[in-house]
């Protein structure tokens, strides 16, 4: 995918990209975005947006796993193709999913999963 190397190139040039829904916001020092670079950004807008949304979603999930005390390795169990789908999922469902993954890893390791008290 071209998005990651292009994002790195833009960052090295002092350009900051952000996704705002379906819009790509570009902040750059004056004169840095040449017509050729602008054309590359336009040509790869969809890929750039997808990567930015993916990165934002992944960062949000990592923050949530840290807050819950869940091992970050759990994130590796979520297929990349599924990660963006979680961006629109309610927090309660996401929490249940991450806890379920954590429980599954614990069971596979031979550990006991605590049962909620009733």
pLDDT in tens, 27-60: 999 999 999 999 999 999 999 998 888 888 788 7
Residue 118: per-residue pLDDT: 46
Supply the pLDDT for residue 84. Answer: 67
Angstrom distance (rounded) from CA 49 to CA 95? 25
pTM for this predicted structure:
0.65
Query: For residues 77 and 101, is the Cβ–Cβ distance under 8 A?
Result: yes
In a domain, 62, yes or no: yes
The parts of the chain modelled with pLDDT lower than 50 are 118
69: in domain:
yes
Number of domains composing the chain: 1
Say if 113 falls within a structural domain. Answer: no
Residue 64 resides in a domain: yes
User: Cα angle vertex 53, ends 104, 99, to 5°?
Assistant: 15
Q: Does any domain span residue 68?
A: yes
Residue 21 included in any domain: yes
Residue 114, in any domain of the structure: no
**What is the residue range of 10's domain?**
3-108
* 81: in domain: yes
């Amino acid at each position: 995918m071209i998005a990651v190397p292009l994002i790195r190139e833009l960052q090295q040039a002092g350009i900051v990209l952000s996704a705002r829904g379906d819009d790509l916001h570009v902040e750059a020092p004056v004169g840095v975005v040449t017509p050729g670079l602008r054309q590359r950004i336009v040509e790869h807008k969809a890929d750039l947006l997808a990567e930015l949304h993916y990165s934002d979603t992944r960062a949000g999930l990592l923050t949530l796993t840290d807050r819950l005390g869940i091992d970050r390795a759990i994130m590796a169990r979520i297929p990349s193709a599924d990660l963006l789908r979680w961006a629109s999922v309610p927090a309660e469902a996401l929490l249940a999913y991450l806890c379920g993954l954590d429980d599954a890893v614990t069971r596979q390791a031979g550990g006991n999963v605590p049962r909620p008290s009733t």
